[in-house]
Amino acid sequence: MPYFEGWKRDVQLRDLSEQQGLIISCQRCGFNRKATKGSLCASPERELMTIEDVEVDCICMTTGCLGKVKISMHGRHTAP
């Protein structure tokens, strides 16, 4: 794993601001979608998950794909 991806193990969803933009990219079909902290927090327990854990838990939303995804930040990086 590249050095710069280590942040995914250190940052929990609760650490992100409500406005922090995220990009979810499918590794199979290449579909990209924008997301926010609120759209990824389906339950209160999910806020305690690291970005790496959320990445493993998510799948592509494109019909019929169901591929693995990668999460990256865009815009202002406001996590502490």
On whether residue 43 sits in a domain, the answer given is yes
On whether residue 80 sits in a domain, the answer given is no
30/48 Cα distance (integer angstroms): 28
Residue 79 pLDDT more than 50? no
Q: How many domains does the chain have?
A: 1
What's the rounded mean pLDDT across residues 46-54?
93
Q: Give residue 33's Cα distance to chain centre.
A: 10
Lowest mean pLDDT among 4-8, 39-43, 46-50: 4-8
Residue 18 pLDDT more than 90? no
The confidence score (pLDDT) of residue 5 equals 60
The confidence score (pLDDT) of residue 74 equals 80
Determine the structural domain holding residue 20 and report its residue range. 3-74
On whether residue 79 sits in a domain, the answer given is no
Q: Higher confidence at residue 63 or residue 75?
A: 63
